[in-house]
Amino acid sequence: MRPMRISDIGEFGLIQRLAQRVTQAGVASSPPGSAFPLVIGIGDDTAAWRTSASLELCTTDTVVEGVHFTQETTPWKDLGWKVMVANLSDIAAMGGTPLYALVTLGLPQSTPVAAVDDLYDGMAWACQEHGCVVAGGDIVRSPIFFVTIALNGYTHETPLRRSAARPGDLVAVTGPLGGSRGGLEVMLRGLSVEPEAADSLRRAHRHPQPRLREGRILVEEGVLAAMDISDGLTDDLGKLMAASGAAARLETWRVPLPPALERAFPGQARSLALAGGEDYELLFTAPPAVMERVLARLPGSAMVGQVVAGEPGSVVMTDEKGQELPFRPTGWDHFRS
């Protein structure tokens, strides 16, 4: 039997189906007693919620099939999880709390309905885990598949900024890096890696965690500068420094590595950790006294360098002897040929 396609049920059949799905998952309306209750959810021209005096946050993130993922490496449900997490991670990078998501789907007519069901299950799963709600969206026909989420959140504190790093700050990350990239390499290259390590890296690629709790702890302890690591540490550190008008020394040997990455890629683990993206750990800077308090509260985190005066955006990498490394691994520019 041919699987049911989007063209079989039409736009309204599809909207009804997906609305039902997020309702059943308990992520179509705000919880009772919410401080920001959802007044209008799926099915009207806009979503609406009541606000009190706070700082409203809004972010958006998109994945395009063939550019950001393939079906071979990311099943639909994991894709739904990942695109929601990419947005949650941006809210985490401000020290905020997520509230309401609008989901835009660009779908070819031949898309199997089961694929969209799975995608929504993955998004609903991320919403369940992190207390946010699917409040609406838009579905459009498209020759290629893409998903865009716009996610609103809030904070009552001073949000973490990319522009707030200052010379004298220490640089740190909330957890080990390179696992997602390692998982991708294992899958794409079909490497023969011990099964337990391979599983662990695949999971890192398909099921990353947004560091919402960690972001709020950073704010509580007085950290001012942070961003999430989506494009790779060296690249994102360069962006953080560019936004702050400062430079950084990155002590590459201090970057924490997932044990599975070291087992699977004995000689390459460190460069995968420096260049690989999509781990969604937070990158932050703070004066030493603040950093000490943060590291004590977040045992998974690690100091990896210093902010220094210098060419804005430049990053010098050093090895354990303090020697400058001769090259800088290039990050992702999605457009340069």
- Footprint of a copy of itself on residues 170-229 (CB under 8 A)? 227-228
Strand pairing of 170-173 and 282-286? antiparallel
Q: How far is the CB of 232 from a copy of itself (least distance, A)?
A: 14
Closest contact distance (angstroms) between CB of 320 and a copy of itself is 31
Binding piece for a copy of itself, criterion CB under 8 A, among 161-169, 187-195, 258-266, 273-281: 161-169
Q: Sign of the C-alpha dihedral, residues 41, 209, 233, 74?
A: negative
CB of 89 to a copy of itself, least distance (A): 8
Strand order in the sheet with 315-318: 225-228, 282-286, 170-173, 302-308, 247-251, 315-318
Q: State the nearest-atom distance from the C-beta of 143 to a copy of itself, in Å.
A: 6
Residue 80 touches a copy of itself, criterion: CB under 8 A: no
Q: Which of residues 237-256 bind a copy of itself (CB under 8 A)?
A: 243
Cross-strand partners of 249: 306, 316
Of 138-146, 189-197, 200-208, 259-267, the window that binds a copy of itself (rule: CB under 8 A) is 138-146
Could you say whether residue 141 binds a copy of itself (CB under 8 A)?
A: yes
Rounded Cα distance, 38 and 25, in Å: 16
Question: Can you name the residues that pair with 324 across neighbouring β-strands?
Answer: 318
- Residues contacting 176, CB < 8 A, separation 6+: 256, 257, 258, 261, 273, 279, 281, 300
The answer to whether residue 102 forms part of the interface with a copy of itself (CB under 8 A) is: yes
User: For residues 44 and 292, which CB has a smaller minimum distance to a copy of itself in the complex?
Assistant: 44
Piece in contact with a copy of itself (CB under 8 A), picked from 105-113, 266-274, 300-308, 314-322: 105-113
Q: Using an 8 Å Cβ cutoff, are 45 and 138 in contact?
A: no
DSSP-based three-state secondary structure for 44: coil
Q: At its nearest, how many Å lie between a copy of itself and the CB of residue 323?
A: 29
Contact string 26-55 vs a copy of itself (x = CB under 8 A): ----------x--xx--xxxxxxxxxxxxx
Spatial distance between the Cα atoms of 317 and 309, rounded to a whole number of angstroms: 15
